[in-house]
Amino acid sequence: MALSGTELARYSRHILLSEIGIGGQERLRAGRVVVVGAGGLGSPALLYLAAAGVGTLGLIDCDSVDLSNLQRQILYDSGDVSQSKTSAAQRRLSGLNPDIAVVAHAVELGPGNARDILDDYDVVIDGSDRLGTRYLVNDACVLLRKPLVSAAIHRFEGQALTYVPGRGPCYRCLFPEPPLDEIPNCAQAGVLGVLPGVLGAVQATEAIKLLLGAGEPLLGRLLTFDALEMRFREFSFQRRPDCPVCGDHPSITRLEESNAATDAEAKVVQRLSAQQLKSMTLRSVDRDRPVIIDVREPSEFETGHLPGAINIPVGELAGRIRQLAPDLTTVFVCRSGKRSEHACRLAARNGLGKVAHLEGGLLAWVESIDSSLPVA
Amino acid sequence: MAESTHCIVNIASPLRSYTGGAAKVNARGATVAEVLADLEQRSKGMRFRIIDEQDRIRPHICLFVGTRRVHSLAEPVVANDELHVICALSGG
């Protein structure tokens, strides 16, 4: 179907570009792009893709909007706080461009649903905030032969790369396996609000180019951005013949396999409420009281910590695991419970049998036990 | 042994707690291994975050000398080279 008069007017600045024209705009209208994570990266990517007239946009997110999101997640406004992200995003994107279809997937992407959801789209944009999801999305795209535009951010630094099946290396060719301990995400490490704007716009640009078949995608090139230096750098990398998913003899041939270890580890993680931990610390016999390991960074620990807690940043835990007594109960704590959960899994994997973590982290402790504890 | 030279090491954001927040540090060495050993002298614990117990680059870390990807710690570093330590990031 030809572009309508309204569409010709709306996309006139695109149509003026010889690389797009009417034919390219029609290709964008026929295009289907799904964005994993409607957060910092997903917000600008979705807004630009909607504005550009990409005909079908999928968004995958099971969170609701938090006040702390508004510093960077420009899809939402103050009235959206506590609303589901997919509903709020759907309203905003449909308001921006009523001619496109916005498909909400209010679910957590996992090995069981990734194939079904992603297979329905032409291009996948990864804006997730967990490394596990990042590897899952990469593996799914390789197995489904879907183009993927991946990006990630940390504090003032971001990185982006594009994968196209048969034309270049995948994310695992660069970073074959995730670390045993989680890299802190935005909620844990902080992030400059405008940073995902830069990287999310790069992702939208790449997706549009892929739909158009125009220009040179970021294939085999890692683009990094340092906002403090205001510097982009580019690093070339090749497909690895021994890549576990896109290599010559892949070991990952189904999504379930790549996440089996994670699922098994999840079963050994014991969660404690703040009240349960408080009760344990009050036990009269020394050996019954837990050893509390605070796995935050030293600067966070110095701001405030639980009495008697020992600071071992999560990144150092693997190297210092032998310092922990296997016969005592070890409770890991951090700010929100994410890093401590990973520490717990790491400790269990290294043979410590009596491990637990504080669910909800020190933020939960402040809310229910001691509101005077300063938490960075 | 080749002559030891100065180079600049660009530190990935998640590892900067080891360098007091510094994004760039100077280090000496004629190979990547020597540069990382020198870095360890001033930033205790940093090498273990980059290299595992079998002296392999950790699989969520990439090293580049300039724009050339490092596959072996024995690869040479010459004067004024920049060693980039790049880490898989999770934030979105």
pLDDT tier for residue A278 given thresholds of 50, 70 and 90:
very high
Percent of chain A scoring above 90 in pLDDT: 74
* CA A205/CA A49 separation, integer angstroms: 8
Specify the domain boundaries for CATH 3.40.250.10 within chain A.
269-368
Nearest 5°: the CA angle A69, A218, A126 is: 30
* CA B76/CA B72 separation, integer angstroms: 9
pLDDT tier for residue A183 given thresholds of 50, 70 and 90:
low
Model confidence at B9: pLDDT above 90: yes
B38-58: average pLDDT: 90
In this structure, are residues A38 and A85 in contact, taking their beta carbons and an 8 Å threshold? yes
**B39 within a domain of the structure (yes/no):** yes
Nearest CA in chain B to A155: B13
pLDDT at A1: 86
**DSSP character for B91?**
B
* CA A298/CA A6 separation, integer angstroms: 57
Higher pLDDT, A280 or A220: A220
pLDDT at B2: 54
Q: Give the CATH number for residue B58.
A: 3.10.20.30
Nearest CA in chain B to A40: B92
Higher pLDDT, A1 or A228: A228
A213-235: average pLDDT: 97
* CA A234/CA A127 separation, integer angstroms: 20
pLDDT at A336: 85
pLDDT at A94: 97
Is A186 labeled as catalytic in the residue annotation?
Answer: yes
If 0-12 CB within 10 Å is exposed, 13-18 middle and 19+ buried, where does residue A126 land?
buried
In tens, the pLDDT along A325-369 reads 888 889 999 988 878 888 888 888 777 878 999 998 999 999 999
Kindly give the pairing relationship between strand A291-294 and strand A330-333: parallel
Specify the domain boundaries for CATH 3.40.50.720 within chain A.
31-263
In tens, the pLDDT along A2-15 reads 999 999 999 999 99
Q: CATH 3.40.250.10: does it fit domain A269-368?
A: yes
pLDDT at A306: 96
Element (H, E) at B25: strand B24-29
Mapped to the 3 state alphabet, what secondary structure does chain A carry?
CCCCHHHHHHCHHHHCCCCCHHHHHHHHHHCEEEEECCCCCHHHHHHHHHHHCCCEEEEECCCECCHHHHHCCCCCCHHHCCCEHHHHHHHHHHHHCCCCEEEEECCCCCCCCHHHHHCCCCEEEECCCCHHHHHHHHHHHHHHCCCEEEEEEEECEEEEEEECCCCCCCHHHHCCCCCCCCCCCHHHHCECCCHHHHHHHHHHHHHHHHHHCCCCCCECEEEEEECCCCEEEEEECCCCCCCCCCCCCCCCCCHHHHHHHHHHHHHHCCEECHHHHHHHHCCCCHHHCCEEEECCCHHHHHHCCCCCCEECCHHHHHHHHHHCCCCCCEEEECCCCHHHHHHHHHHHHCCCCCEEEECCHHHHHHHHCCCCCCCC
Distance from CA of A81 to the nearest CA of B (A): 19
Model confidence at A259: pLDDT above 50: no
A94-105: average pLDDT: 96
In this structure, are residues A172 and A134 in contact, taking their beta carbons and an 8 Å threshold? no
Model confidence at A26: pLDDT above 80: yes
Best of A72, A148, A183 to mutate (most B CBs within 10 Å, chain B): A183
Model confidence at A324: pLDDT above 80: yes
Q: What is the pTM of this model?
A: 0.77
Residue B61 structural domain? 5-87
A42, A129, A235 ranked by CB distance to B67: nearest: A235
Residue carrying the six token digits 């489904």: A144
| First vs last C-alpha separation in chain A | 56
* CA A59/CA B86 separation, integer angstroms: 29
A104-131: average pLDDT: 95
pLDDT at A261: 44
Domain count, chain B: 1
Half-sphere exposure of residue A38, counting CA atoms within 13 Å on the CB side? 34
pLDDT tier for residue A184 given thresholds of 50, 70 and 90:
low
Q: The sheet that has A355-358: what strands, in order across it?
A: A271-272, A355-358, A330-333, A291-294, A310-311
Distance from CA of A361 to the nearest CA of B (A): 19
pLDDT tier for residue A238 given thresholds of 50, 70 and 90:
very high
Model confidence at A179: pLDDT above 90: no
**Structure tokens that stand for A35 in this block:** 């964005």
Model confidence at A260: pLDDT above 50: no
**Structure tokens that stand for A74 in this block:** 């420009």
Contact criterion met (CB < 8 Å) for A129 and B90: yes
**Selection from A132, A144, A352 nearest residue A263 by Cα:** A132
Which phi and psi (to 5°) does residue A44 adopt?
A: -65, -35
Model confidence at A263: pLDDT above 70: no
Contact criterion met (CB < 8 Å) for B23 and A229: yes
Model confidence at A187: pLDDT above 90: no
Q: Which residues of A touch B61 (CB under 8 A)?
A: 175
pLDDT tier for residue A102 given thresholds of 50, 70 and 90:
very high
pLDDT at A257: 45
A284-298: average pLDDT: 86
**B92 within a domain of the structure (yes/no):** no
Assigned fold of A31-263: Rossmann fold (3.40.50)
**Structure tokens that stand for A180 in this block:** 């045993």
The answer, for B33 touching chain A at a CB cutoff of 8 Å, is: no
Percent of chain A scoring above 70 in pLDDT: 95
Q: Which residues contact A282 (CB under 8 A, 6 or more apart)?
A: none
**B58 within a domain of the structure (yes/no):** yes
Count, residues in chain B: 92
Percent of chain B scoring above 90 in pLDDT: 72
Q: The sheet that has B24-29: what strands, in order across it?
A: B24-29, B5-10, B82-87, B61-65, B68-69
pLDDT at A182: 57
pLDDT at A256: 67
In tens, the pLDDT along A41-65 reads 999 999 999 999 999 999 999 999 9
Q: Is the dihedral of CA B9, B12, B13, B16 positive or negative?
A: negative
Residue type, B67: T
**Structure tokens that stand for A8 in this block:** 């010709």
Distance from CA of A131 to the nearest CA of B (A): 5
